Amino acid sequence: MPPPYRNPHWQVFAGIPFVPAGPVGYIPADWVRSHSLTGIPPAAVPIPVTQLDRAAVRAICRNPAYPVLLGYVCAMAWGLQGVGQYGPPNVARAWCQRAGIEQSLIQLRNGGLTRAAAYNLFRTPRGNNNIISGLGPAYFTKLLYFFSPTNDFYIMDRRTGQAVDVLTGTWVVTVTDEGGINANRSSDYQAYCDEVDLIARELSVTGEQAEEMLWAWRNYNWPGDGPL
C-alpha cells in the first residue's frame, strides 16, 4: 500500500515530470572573490569560472585528488550561500572555521557514515546548535549530498522540508514561522531522507530526482507552508 500522501497535493506533485536543473547559483570564482576568501589549498584544477550543475559540483567534491575546501566553495556558490542581508556575515563566520569544516568533509568523503552521523558532524547531538557558526542545515546538508560517496544523503532546506510536510500532513521537518529549519535534529534528517526515498519509490525515480522535484514543486504555488 502506498504511503498516505494527501490529495490534491499528491496528485498535482506526482503529475509534474522530472526536469533536471541545469547550472545554477553563483560562479565559484566570483563567489570566492566577492567574499574575499583566502586559504583555499592549491588544486590540480582552478576554481571554476562558470556556473555549475549538480553533477559538476559532485564530481569536484567526491574527487580525492581535489582539496575538500575547493568542493566546499563550489557547493556553497551553487547553493547561493551569502544571499540576503545576513548572508555575507554567515559566509565569513563559516569560513573562519574552515579547519573544522575540512576535517568533517574528509570524513564525509571517506564514507561509512549513517545519515544521522553525517548530520551530527555539523550539529550538536541535541540538535540545538550548529557546530559551524553561520552554516545551518539548509547549507550543510548540501555538503552531505555532494560529498557523501552514496547517493542517498539529500538536501534538506525550507523548501523541500515544507513540501514533504504538505504531502504527508505531518511535521517531518520543523519549519519555523520565520522559515528556518535550525530546530531539526539528526533523527529528523533521517526521517526526511526516509520520506524522500518513499516518494522516489512511488514515482519510480531516484531519491536525488525526488528531492529535486520537491524543491521545484514550490514553483507550482501549492498552498500553505506546512501541514494543511
State how many domains the chain has: 1
Range of the domain at 37: 9-220
Does residue 228 lie in a domain region?
Answer: no
Does residue 99 lie in a domain region?
Answer: yes
Virtual torsion, Cα 20, 57, 155, 151, nearest 10 deg: 80
- Beta-ladder partners of 130: 123
Alpha-helical runs (H) found in 64-120: 68-78, 87-96, 98-110, 115-119
Position 78 scores a pLDDT of 98
Position 124 scores a pLDDT of 77
Q: What is the pTM of this model?
A: 0.93
Cell of 29: 570564482
Does residue 4 lie in a domain region?
Answer: no
Position 168 scores a pLDDT of 93
**How far is the C-alpha of 29 from the C-alpha of 77, rounded, in Å?**
9
Position 44 scores a pLDDT of 81
Phi first, then psi: give them for residue 123, nearest 5 degrees. Answer: -130, 155
Which residues are within 8 A (CB) of 74 and not within 5 positions of it... i.e. 6 or more apart? 28, 47, 48, 52, 56, 57, 60, 61
**How far is the C-alpha of 62 from the C-alpha of 69, rounded, in Å?**
11
Contact between 93 and 133 (Cβ < 8 Å): yes
pLDDT in tens, 75-87: 999 999 999 888 9
Does residue 226 lie in a domain region?
Answer: no
Cell of 110: 571517506
Which residues are within 8 A (CB) of 7 and not within 5 positions of it... i.e. 6 or more apart? none
Position 1 scores a pLDDT of 42
pLDDT in tens, 116-150: 999 999 997 666 678 899 999 999 999 999 999 99
Q: Can you list the residues of the chain whose pLDDT is less than 50?
A: 1, 225-226, 228
Position 127 scores a pLDDT of 62
Does residue 96 lie in a domain region?
Answer: yes
Phi first, then psi: give them for residue 106, nearest 5 degrees. Answer: -65, -45
